[in-house]
A = this chain, B = another copy of it.
Amino acid sequence: MRVIAEERANPSFPVREMTHFLDGGVRVTETREMIMMQLERDPVMKTIDHNDLTLPQIRERTIQKIRRLAHYVANEPVAQFRQRLSILSLVDPGTYTRIGVHYGLFFSALQGQASAEQLSYWVQKGAVTLNGLVGCFGMTELGHGSNVAGLETTATYDEASEEFVIHTPTLTATKWWIGGAAQTATHCVVFARLIVKGRDHGVKNFVVQLRDPETFALMPGVVIGDIGAKMGRHGIDNGWIQFTHVRIPRSHMLMKHTKVKASGEVIEPPLQQLTYGALIGGRVSMVVDSGNASKKALTIALRYAAIRRQFGARPGEPETKILDYVIHQHRLIPLLAQAFAMHFTGVEVQNIYEDLMVKMETLKPGDKDLHTVLEHLKEVHGTSAGLKAFCTWNALNTIDQCRQSLGGHGYSAYAGLASLYNDFAVQCTWEGDNTILTLQAGRYLVGCYREAKAGKKQAGGVAYLNDLQALLRNRCQAKSAAEIDLDVIGQAYWLVAGNVVKAAGEEFDACIKRGLREDDAYEHCSQARLYAAKMHSYGYLFHRFKDGVAKAPASLQPILTKLCLLYGLYNIAENSGPFLQYEFFTPRHLDWIRARVAELCKDIRKDAVPITDSFNYSDFVINSPLGRYDGDIYQAYFDLINAAHPPAKVPPYFKSEIHPLLHRNTQADDPLELDDDE
């Protein structure tokens, strides 16, 4: 413990002030601390034995936790309940997802797709308080994921009875991966093809009751199964659902946008774009999650590295702390800088998104700022797609690097990083597979490039495309390593992003010129789109980090500036190809950059433990003996494992299996030797 105290003796920045700055104010910090204390002291919320529960036990524990949370949903302000869920997502991702399916998917679908009258009907039924109904979200099917337009489930309107008939026509149309379906939900928002008078109107949303809330018996025509074991998030009960000609009233189709009248007349919405605003919220929150999960993993890895010693002992001295090795600093400190980049980007994108949502709520066809809002929506949609992909990949990589940095202990479930990885991994897939999202982001960038080329001014994060010719002529003028500052790095990212976006745009244009259909042209330049999205997103993260530093209190500027420099320079060193290819930097600049990365790692290392402290995650949230605040890692780790597995007795299968193995009479197997001469 003395060892970790020395790590905290001389932080170069005021730690508590950093916490307030990251949280967004003293009040937020206080609320978070109150919530952490409530979680930690509530015996129902315990997580310490998670690694040793069976799947049925985890499922039951999870629903107990949801009952506790239901108290708060009815008794605290929405913003505070969101803070609670955000902390829960780090403590227990399975429980978070199980309750999140109801609020984040089922209820969000109602908010986004139900008419005002419908919304009020479902709220009255208990959709806000979880009292009377629990919802799930029936989008994906066994044979259909990212391409919602390809779903097979049908909702056929029957004019005679004024009902929809929900039906699963094939095996591949089985609703699949539906969180909460297996053991929790009474109702489901089902994505199904609206068929009216034989005509297919595309995929719309319908509320279908799955179970009787009194008995939990399945409704007639509904069959549900549990899809069983998963990589992680074991608390959430994903299931499959098949509907066999299930009838629902017409009012159960969500009709904020498309409407079906009693007569069967279908009225399409005037503004199709508004229906996809809802997807963005999830993506934005995953940028924030990526920063938070990274901070948690790094807290464990850095505190462990400040205690663990290995090699390098000189006579009479202890071995060297692994955090003092150049290579260990290089493994972790750039990831720490990246966590800050994701943090600041998350905050900014969340703000942009919330502003936009407020505007969209009240938007009507014909409004004078309609065009501006729609342009803004397009930007947020395109940008958030790339950010969701690269941030979740970055976070997953951070978690794995942190796990590996613990050596063998990283492979123990009790270190907490294996489950963090397994729980987090799904973020790269759900709400838009990352690779598909990078292509969407790339398509958006190609579009921006072509608009800019045609003289249409681009705003926000793609404004660098406006005067591309001038931008692409930029060359780094730095005469020393010190001259490569945040502004120069910002220029470097814009230049590279500009070049790769231009390359993708030119490839696209060439395809069109060769006579390809637009979709085929986009398909042809997929790899270029992905690359454009990658370099644009890296640059976007850097610029948001840089903006965040500018807004920081003076006392925090020096450390944040170092972290921002490291983030920018490290990624240039690791992806040096395009920076050389487009001649912004020379090989000599790169040598300086590599040396500067090493200096920065060494310098920031001194603040490594105070920085983890500034993240302000309690030991309960960290849930790893190796990442304890007090640094007493070995005793805590040993005690935790011994509590779960008291010293070995004779294994239950000793008599039946091991004793017979050890006492085989192998000679009994010797065959009769035939005497061929006889």
Contact = CB atoms under 8 A, between A and B. Distances in A.
A226 B411 CA distance: 14
A140 interface: yes
16 contacts: A52-B229, A126-B662, A133-B662, A134-B662, A146-B407, A227-B645, A231-B411, A231-B412, A231-B413, A312-B519, A326-B523, A326-B524, A408-B430, A418-B422, A576-B576, A577-B590
A239 B642 CA distance: 11
Nearest to A172: B634
A608 to B, nearest CB: 17
- Each complex incorporates copies of this chain amounting to 2
B66 A661 contact: yes
Contacts of A660: 67
A435 B331 contact: yes
Contacts of A428: 404
Contacts of A454: none
A645 B225 contact: yes
A240 B409 CA distance: 13
A142 B590 CA distance: 41
A414 interface: yes
Contact of A216 (B144, B146, B176, B651): B651
B580 A216 contact: no
A439 to B, nearest CB: 6
A288 B184 CA distance: 46
Contact of A635 (B126, B171, B312, B654): B171
Task: Please provide the 9 A-B residue pairs with the shortest distance between their CB atoms, ordered closest to farther.
Answer: A576-B577, A229-B413, A231-B418, A183-B651, A51-B229, A226-B645, A326-B526, A327-B526, A580-B580
Given A131-B662, A230-B413, A650 B216 contact: yes
A587 to B, nearest CB: 5
A63 B661 contact: yes
Interface in A218-234: 218, 223-232
A477 interface: no
A93 B331 CA distance: 29
A411 B429 contact: yes
Interface string A303-322: 00000111111000001000
A146 B325 CA distance: 14
A527 B327 contact: yes
A249 interface: no
Given A129-B666, A523-B325, A577-B577, A310 B650 contact: no
Between A129, A216, A644, the greatest number of chain B beta carbons within 10 A of the residue's beta carbon is seen for: A216
Contacts of A74: 666, 669
Interface of A: 51-52, 54-56, 59-60, 63-64, 66-67, 70, 74-75, 126, 129-134, 140, 142-147, 150, 171-172, 174, 176-177, 182-184, 186, 213-218, 223-232, 237, 239-240, 308-313, 319, 325-328, 330-331, 403-405, 407-408, 410-414, 418, 421-422, 425-426, 428-430, 433-435, 439, 519, 523-524, 526-527, 530, 575-581, 587, 590, 594, 598, 634-635, 637-638, 641-642, 644-648, 650-654, 657-664, 666, 669
Nearest to A637: B142
B411 A648 contact: no
A227 B415 CA distance: 12
A225 to B, nearest CB: 5
Given A59-B653, A126-B662, A326-B523, 18 more contacts: A129-B666, A131-B663, A140-B408, A145-B407, A146-B407, A171-B635, A214-B659, A216-B650, A216-B658, A216-B659, A230-B418, A231-B421, A327-B435, A327-B526, A327-B530, A404-B433, A407-B433, A411-B429
A408 B310 contact: no
Contacts of A67: 657, 660-661
Contacts of A227: 412, 641, 645
A662 B413 contact: no
Contact of A577 (B126, B421, B575): B575
A313 B637 CA distance: 55
A78 to B, nearest CB: 17
A224 B646 CA distance: 9
Contacts of A240: 638, 641
Contacts of A309: 143
